[in-house]
């Protein structure tokens, strides 16, 4: 896709360069000039800011309109809309992702005071670490110091440790994180508290923890140590730099609701949305709560197994880890013959292969629940759309269930059409390689129109 010029309504303080053309691999990358605010925290599975701009131009959206992202995630759509002076609203069911998106559209902190307060926090936290016999920067230690075992390190309760991916963070970096969090709590300043926590969230997975993404979340080699406070301050400096650039644009309204995209009519005003730009979960075996588990637990958004269960119950049923006995979204597609045949094929393949695990037995059911949940979403969405509203959904074909191909875009188009939407087209966004089969799968943009 071309990197387009900003629409004429874009604020003069923030303009985009044209002339960029990406390869298939690069088309989902973020451009350097797009990083302000977006780069405060990003999900590996999110779509890029230039995708939002391209569809804002395609749909002729301007400052008189309002854009919705019902699967808001880290807030790419609403951040980009705010940069362009366009009112937006996001819906996000995951409490940590909701927090991320909220902070990323708050450009109100004074950058100099933010830095001053963060550097004070860093000084206090480092003093506490020194009292514990620990330096924050591991590169300035001798070999003997590096290998020394520290006694009485702070840690999490066994119940919380069980919520984390095993070995996702090593004991010494965890101790430092807990010291920093304790210092942030004791010296909290409400003007900066959320941005300071977000800076830590960004550093946690890779700079501090042992996680890697490709795109699945995995645990890499353990870090004996990591410069926790330094990595956190880097995030603070990035936020302050970006707020200096974006602060004048803060007045544009951007709201993020903590809600379920399958039932948002009570949250978003009726007939208030002119465009939808989003990417829902795909029907596969990705447990999206694992991607942010380290940040969610350490920052207190998930504090027990019951918290995790409650969170999953408000998410789209896109994998077997989120299926519960009481789920009934499948009733929304009970008469959709193509989806029923697809689920039956998956179940037949399971029997043919002799697969008997509990999760494998759920593959057919989660397929029905996923498309039923999306049907429920499309039905509910109609109440908040204005006549003539445009919609763009990034979706991907999947072959996670015994390599039975799921043509996600085509099936969602069928569902949307049955609910009164006009299917404008299914555009190829890019292709990607399937993890198991290594075949090329289509990632598409389902483009719809609601004519009322």
Give the orientation angle of helix 171-186 with respect to helix 193-203, to 10 degrees: 170
Length of the chain: 452
Backbone dihedral angles phi then psi of residue 122, each to the nearest 5 degrees: -60, -40
**DSSP helix, strand, coil percent of the chain (3-state; round to 5):** 45, 15, 40
* Distance from C-alpha of 425 to C-alpha of 408, rounded to nearest angstrom: 14
More confident residue, 301 or 14: 301
pLDDT in tens, 133-164: 898 876 545 334 544 555 689 999 999 999 99
| Per-residue model confidence (pLDDT) at position 446 | 97
Domain spans of the chain, in order of start: 111-248
CB 54 within 8 A of CB 76: no
Q: What is the percentage of the chain residues whose pLDDT exceeds 70?
A: 89
42-72 residue pLDDT tens: 887 678 999 999 999 999 999 999 999 999 9
Q: What is the distance, to the nearest Å, from the Cα of residue 377 to the centroid of all Cα atoms in its chain?
A: 19
E strand or H helix at 248: none
Q: How many CA atoms lie within 13 A of 170 on its CB side?
A: 17
Question: Structure tokens of 383?
Answer: 């109440």
Provide the pLDDT for residue 6.
29
Dihedral sign computed on CA atoms, order 99, 102, 105, 106: negative
- Reported pTM: 0.90
């Amino acid at each position: 896709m071309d990197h387009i010029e900003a629409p004429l309504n874009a604020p003069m303080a923030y303009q985009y360069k044209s002339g960029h053309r990406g390869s298939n691999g690069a088309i989902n990358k973020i451009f350097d000039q797009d990083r302000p605010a977006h780069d405060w925290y990003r999900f590996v599975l999110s779509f890029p800011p230039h995708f939002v701009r391209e569809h804002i131009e395609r749909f002729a959206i301007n400052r008189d309109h309002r854009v919705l992202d019902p699967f808001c995630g880290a807030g790419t759509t609403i951040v980009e809309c705010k940069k362009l002076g366009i009112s937006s609203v996001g819906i996000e069911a995951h409490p940590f992702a909701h927090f991320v998106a909220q902070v990323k559209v708050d450009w109100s902190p004074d950058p100099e005071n933010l830095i001053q307060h963060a550097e004070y926090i860093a000084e206090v936290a480092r003093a506490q670490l020194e009292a514990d016999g620990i330096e924050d920067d591991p590169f300035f230690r001798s070999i003997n110091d590096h290998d020394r075992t520290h006694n009485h390190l702070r840690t999490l309760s066994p119940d919380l440790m069980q919520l984390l991916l095993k070995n996702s963070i090593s004991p010494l970096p965890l101790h430092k994180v807990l010291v920093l969090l304790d210092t942030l709590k004791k010296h909290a300043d409400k003007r900066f508290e959320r941005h300071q926590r977000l800076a830590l969230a960004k550093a946690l997975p890779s700079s501090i923890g042992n996680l890697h993404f490709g795109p699945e979340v995995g645990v890499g080699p353990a870090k004996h140590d990591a410069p926790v406070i330094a990595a956190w301050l880097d995030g603070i400096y990035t936020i302050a730099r970006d707020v200096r650039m974006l602060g004048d644009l803060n007045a544009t309204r951007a709201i993020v609701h903590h809600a379920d995209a399958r039932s948002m009519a009570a949250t978003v005003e009726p007939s208030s949305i002119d465009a939808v730009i989003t990417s829902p979960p795909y029907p596969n075996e990705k447990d999206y709560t694992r991607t942010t588990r380290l940040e969610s637990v350490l920052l207190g958004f998930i504090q027990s197994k019951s918290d995790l269960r409650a969170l999953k119950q408000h998410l789209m049923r896109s994998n077997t880890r989120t299926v519960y006995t009481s789920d009934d979204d499948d009733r929304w597609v009970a008469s959709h013959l193509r989806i029923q045949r697809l689920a039956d094929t998956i179940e037949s393949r399971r029997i043919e292969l002799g697969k008997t695990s509990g999760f494998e037995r759920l593959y057919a059911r989660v397929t029905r629940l996923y498309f039923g949940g999306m049907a429920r979403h499309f039905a509910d969405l109609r109440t908040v759309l204005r006549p003539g509203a445009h919609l763009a959904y990034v979706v991907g074909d999947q072959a996670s269930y015994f390599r039975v191909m799921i043509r996600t875009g085509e099936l969602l188009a069928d569902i949307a059409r049955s609910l009164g939407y006009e299917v404008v087209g299914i555009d190829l966004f890019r292709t990607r390689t399937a993890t198991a089969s290594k075949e090329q799968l289509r990632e598409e943009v389902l483009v719809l129109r609601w004519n009322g």
